[in-house]
Amino acid sequence: MCGITACIGTADSVDPLMSGLKRLEYRGYDSAGLAVKGQDGLSLTKRVGEVSELASAVEQDSLDGTFGIGHTRWATHGGVTNENAHPHTDESGNIAVVHNGIIGNFQSLRTELEANGHVFSSETDTEVVPHLIEESLRDGATPEEAFRSAVGRLSGTYALAAIIGDEDAIFATRSGSPLVLGIGDGEYFLASDVPAFIPYTDRVVYLHDGDFVVTTRDGYTISDAAGRPVDRSVETVDWDPETATKGGYEHFMYKEIHEQPGALRRTIHGRLNPLSGGVELEEFPSGTFADVRQIHLVAMGTSHHAGMYAASLLSALDIPAFPFMAGEYAVTVPPVTPGTLVIAVSQSGETADTLDAVRRARAAGAKTLALTNVVGSSITRECDDELLIRAGPEIGVAATKTFSSQVTALTLLAERIVEDVTGTASTDAAEIIDALSRLPGDVQEILDTSTSRDVAAEYQDSDAYFFIGRGVAHPVALEGALKFKEISYEHAEGFAASELKHGPLALVTPFTPVFAIFTGKEDEATLSNVKEVQARGAPVIAVTSDRDGEIAEFADHVLSIPETHPDVAGILANVQLQLVAYHAAKLLDRPIDKPRNLAKCVTVE
């Protein structure tokens, strides 16, 4: 989704802005642009296509300036054109604005501005902002007053950064879209996400909705909508620049798949007590969840699959738990009764559908808990409590390490909830804690030994790819199919193994390989489904720890996982499926880190 970058105080602004845009590429975009202010006034270049194309254009235009703003656009209002790319300006060309989000009332503002003589040059919602600023300046407002007054007219979601007139400053604000401030040595940065400026500084202020920031070469001020100063703490992030780059791997996705042992170590660090066989969550001391009577898990995409996984674990432990696609939460109108805990699962913490579901849950009186990867993200502020998954930055559009960390953190949370609600640890608690402590090593073993590339190569010309599983293996099947389709563009579907006979079996042919996931629970039933698809000639790839038994005997291929507790086996099986998807997409030469039409962070509903 759109990315903002801005800087002031650096010797030259073009390099940091371009490097920021490059680092924001993971968010997904279709055009990019930047505006810089130098001795010759405001210069602006924007291009449809990749940041590398913008870089050539910037060089050609000899863009030069001492401060500026940049943007990667993911079209929402108006087509993918140079005119619609950001920054947007007023008629004088003296004001430039970049925006992430959607301005809900742009049409009425545009009609009003056009009636006042403003001429628009794009189809975007954003362009109303520079024109509104220009109106206020004309009425005698200072640049800061003009910026505040324009923002005061907007409804919807936005992060905005602007250069206004002759003022050597960048004006910015946020409401519902992410924006962070980076504080260097006499240099200041603004961006949608920290990796944009991490080569320049690791000191960060996570801005809140409603914050207004004015940055100059001499410093910054943060105030609220009424202009009252607000105090925001400066935090130091421990990401080295290399963490947010590819570090020798061909793709971020592959790097992130390989980072899973480390990510999982961080997820579980300090949270397992092998002596008591219990869970220790600093955030949630024993007893926190004693009043919980039912749980809703709201999330989208991969995070929804993690939510389904957790719901399956909790239900098996007699805690009523229901996964909802956050975007459907409003429609399904689930009853929020006393004792309802709503867990919002979101890697980015900025997904609009998930934030909306949280707001609905809160309005209905539920207690809310954010399970996220991003410190200070919107969801952490909207929910009553938070549990960080600590997976580290995920840049590839396809979520990989964060799914593993989400499921692991949710497994820990499930154990804490069960203990609090029932007064005793779950029957398998000690085995699960042991399995989780071995998980990083088990994932490493898969990474070292996987034959997923051979499997991907053998079946690369298939008509479609199916994934089946039962219990926790069902969301893993859905996740395996999602990963496969989103990066390979091949048709892939996941099903509950029990569902096959009720329709999907009609699709099964010798040219539709079926990936069957076995966790050690209900394997016999899944094996009978395997026999059904084999009878229709479909090749079967079993993901299992059963290397020599009946499953291996029936399968055409085995993608092996180390033996572990069945509740944890799904995490391991998923790693094999991530690798299959990656290799299939690589063989097809797909743009793995930036699949077509997709964005890392979906901040519109």
In the complex with ligand F6R, the residue whose CB is nearer, 17 or 397, is: 397
DSSP-derived secondary structure letter, 33: E
176 is an interface residue for ligand F6R by CB under 6 A: no
Find, among 568, 562, 470, the residue nearest to 264 by Cα.
568
Shortest reach from residue 233's CB to ligand F6R, in Å: 24
Shortest reach from residue 85's CB to ligand F6R, in Å: 24
Choices 74-82, 132-140, 340-348, 454-462 (CB under 6 A): range interacting with ligand F6R: 340-348
Shortest reach from residue 397's CB to ligand F6R, in Å: 6
Contact with ligand F6R (CB under 6 A): which of 95, 352, 398, 573?
A: 398
300 is an interface residue for ligand F6R by CB under 6 A: yes
Contact with ligand F6R (CB under 6 A): which of 28, 178, 301, 327?
A: 301
Question: Catalytic site residue 22?
Answer: no
Contact with ligand F6R (CB under 6 A): which of 354, 380, 564, 574?
A: 354
Cα–Cα distance between 377 and 50 in angstroms, integer? Answer: 27
| Backbone φ and ψ of 301, nearest 5° | 55, -130
Choices 65-73, 254-262, 343-351, 532-540 (CB under 6 A): range interacting with ligand F6R: 343-351
In the complex with ligand F6R, the residue whose CB is nearer, 72 or 377, is: 377
Spatial neighbors of 578 by CB under 8 A, at least 6 apart, are 257, 400, 483
302 is an interface residue for ligand F6R by CB under 6 A: yes
DSSP-derived secondary structure letter, 298: E
DSSP, collapsed to helix, strand or coil, labels residue 84 as coil
Choices 89-97, 129-137, 345-353, 566-574 (CB under 6 A): range interacting with ligand F6R: 345-353
CB atoms under 10 Å from CB of 198, counted, come to 25
- Written as one letter, the residue type at 374 is V
Binding to ligand F6R (CB under 6 A) within 477-516 occurs at: 482, 486
The DSSP element (H or E) to which 73 belongs, if any, is strand 67-73
How many residues touch ligand F6R under the rule CB under 6 A: the total is 15
| Backbone φ and ψ of 95, nearest 5° | -130, 135
Check if the beta carbon of residue 148 is closer than 8 Å to that of residue 225. yes
- Written as one letter, the residue type at 596 is R
Shortest reach from residue 403's CB to ligand F6R, in Å: 8
351 is an interface residue for ligand F6R by CB under 6 A: yes
Check if the beta carbon of residue 69 is closer than 8 Å to that of residue 17. yes
Shortest reach from residue 357's CB to ligand F6R, in Å: 11
In the complex with ligand F6R, the residue whose CB is nearer, 201 or 373, is: 373
Check if the beta carbon of residue 314 is closer than 8 Å to that of residue 414. yes
Residue 210, burial from CB neighbour count under 10 angstroms (0-12, 13-18, 19+): middle
Q: Give the torsion sign (CA, 196, 198, 203, 206).
A: positive
DSSP-derived secondary structure letter, 392: -
Find, among 265, 536, 584, 225, the residue nearest to 408 by Cα.
265
Tell me the residue number closest to ligand F6R, measured at CB.
Answer: 301
Choices 129-137, 258-266, 347-355, 526-534 (CB under 6 A): range interacting with ligand F6R: 347-355
Shortest reach from residue 451's CB to ligand F6R, in Å: 23
In the complex with ligand F6R, the residue whose CB is nearer, 89 or 372, is: 372
In the complex with ligand F6R, the residue whose CB is nearer, 446 or 601, is: 601
Check if the beta carbon of residue 513 is closer than 8 Å to that of residue 466. yes
Residue 340, burial from CB neighbour count under 10 angstroms (0-12, 13-18, 19+): buried
Shortest reach from residue 193's CB to ligand F6R, in Å: 12
Shortest reach from residue 486's CB to ligand F6R, in Å: 6
Shortest reach from residue 508's CB to ligand F6R, in Å: 25
In the complex with ligand F6R, the residue whose CB is nearer, 45 or 354, is: 354
In the complex with ligand F6R, the residue whose CB is nearer, 267 or 346, is: 346
Check if the beta carbon of residue 37 is closer than 8 Å to that of residue 28. no
Question: Catalytic site residue 2?
Answer: yes
- How far, in Å, are 27, 127, 263 from residue 195 at the CA level? 11, 27, 18
Q: What is the dihedral of CA 344, 348, 352, 357, to 10 degrees?
A: 0
Which of 46, 383, 600, 601 is catalytic? The answer is 600
399 is an interface residue for ligand F6R by CB under 6 A: yes
Cα–Cα distance between 596 and 592 in angstroms, integer? Answer: 9
In the complex with ligand F6R, the residue whose CB is nearer, 388 or 601, is: 601
In the complex with ligand F6R, the residue whose CB is nearer, 405 or 564, is: 405
Binding residues (CB under 6 A) for ligand F6R: these are 300-303, 346-348, 351, 354, 398-399, 482, 486, 601-602
| Residues marked as catalytic | 2, 600
